[in-house]
Amino acid sequence: MFGFIKMLNNLMTKLKQNKRLWFTTVFIVACAGISLALFMLVSTTDNISKEVYASQTQEFVQTYKDLEKLQEIKLQEISMLASYDTTLIQALQDNNIVSITKIEESIQAKLTQKNQNTLSVKFYSAQNTTEKLRSSVVSALQTKNNIFGIEVLFDGVFYVYLSPIIKDNVVIGIVEAKESIYSVKNSFDRRAKEFTFLLDKKMLPFLSLKNRDGVYSDIGKNHIVNIKMHGNKIVSYISALDDKTLEDLTKENYISDKEYFLNSTIIRDINGVDIGLVILGESISQDSSFINMVQKMANQVVMITLGLIVSLLLFLL
């Protein structure tokens, strides 16, 4: 060890005697040091950026879950109000389809007056044996429990709340309150973020021909998008993504490029079946966009650190 130190000291002495070789060596070592420092710095900032992106995605997922919970509360309140209607209770007991229909129309008219056109209410009589009920309604009838979730129905994709109407411990009917899945879009629009729902193609048979032909467009090999409910820009951008990028978006829950920063979360229906993706897009063109703020902070850190490294090397020289 002592011999190595002595040899290194002799080498430094010889280099200092040859000024040209000394400054050349110092310059090469300095350049190598700067390059190594920059590589480590860029790698570190990239890793930090990925962690920030993942954190942002978690925040989006939580925001969406919170909005979904608000939907459940809103639909629950509507169901409860309807279930206390004595006229409705009597009509359900008597299986009076005419009266039930009139009550539905009356409630729908009131919702329309309040500009709540995305909301709708329907009643199912337990005595009506002629109407074919879907599995979720049958489950609410049999279990006497409230059920909330997303369903793909013949007229679209909805948040659905099913509430049994019970009299003398007997279920006499079900209140169904539902609202379009696109109703949460306004909440994201107010935050300058673009909401997009991609429906899995396997759910297409559940939609009526009227509500799918000319309404949906293909996105990759597994999904479709409602072109009437979304802006052309975001739909065009997502449509241009290849299958691998869409798969990465599904697995990693986010992607970022020169145009958009996209978050995603898998959507499951009332039965726990994967039915599609909710994607939240933020345009990079906005100065206040999240991705721009992250990139600016990363660039500032790199420039400040590089300045310190160069200043230190100049001081040593």
Domains, the chain: 68-180 (3.30.450.20), 183-288 (no CATH)
pLDDT tens digits along 31-40: 666 666 666 6
Predicted pLDDT at 174: 94
Predicted pLDDT at 4: 55
Spatial distance between the Cα atoms of 81 and 115, rounded to a whole number of angstroms = 18
Q: What does the radius of gyration of the chain's CA atoms come to, in whole angstroms?
A: 31
Cβ contacts of residue 244 below 8 Å, gap of 6+? Answer: none
pLDDT tens digits along 253-301: 777 777 778 888 899 999 999 999 998 887 776 555 555 555 555 555 5
Predicted pLDDT at 116: 79
pLDDT tens digits along 91-104: 999 999 999 999 99
Q: How many CB atoms lie within 10 A of CB 26?
A: 14
Q: Where are the alpha helices (DSSP H) in the chain?
A: 2-17, 19-83, 86-94, 97-113, 135-143, 185-189, 232-239, 243-252, 290-316
Per the structure block, which two tokens stand in for 249? 């978006």
Residue 268, classed as helix, strand or coil, is: strand
Strand order in the sheet with 260-268: 216-219, 223-226, 194-200, 274-283, 260-268, 254-256
| pLDDT of the chain, 317 residues: tens digit per residue | 556 565 656 656 665 565 566 566 666 666 666 666 666 655 555 555 666 666 677 788 888 899 999 999 999 998 888 888 889 989 999 999 999 999 999 988 888 888 777 889 999 999 888 888 999 999 999 999 999 999 999 999 999 999 999 888 899 999 999 999 999 888 887 777 888 999 999 999 999 988 888 889 899 888 999 988 887 788 888 888 888 888 888 776 777 777 778 888 899 999 999 999 998 887 776 555 555 555 555 555 556 666 666 665 555 55
Predicted pLDDT at 32: 67
CA atoms within 13 A on the CB side of 294: 19
**CA quadruple 144, 146, 150, 151: dihedral positive or negative?**
positive
Predicted pLDDT at 250: 79
Instruction: Show the CA angle centred on residue 152, arms to residues 60 and 105, nearest 5°.
Output: 110
Predicted pLDDT at 99: 93
Helices 290-316 and 19-83: angle between axes, nearest 10 degrees: 160
pTM of the model: 0.76
Predicted pLDDT at 242: 82
Q: Classify residue 206 by its DSSP letter.
A: G
Cβ contacts of residue 313 below 8 Å, gap of 6+? Answer: 30, 33, 34
Helices 19-83 and 86-94: angle between axes, nearest 10 degrees: 70
CB 167 within 8 A of CB 103: no
263-120-117-73 Cα dihedral, nearest 10 degrees? -50
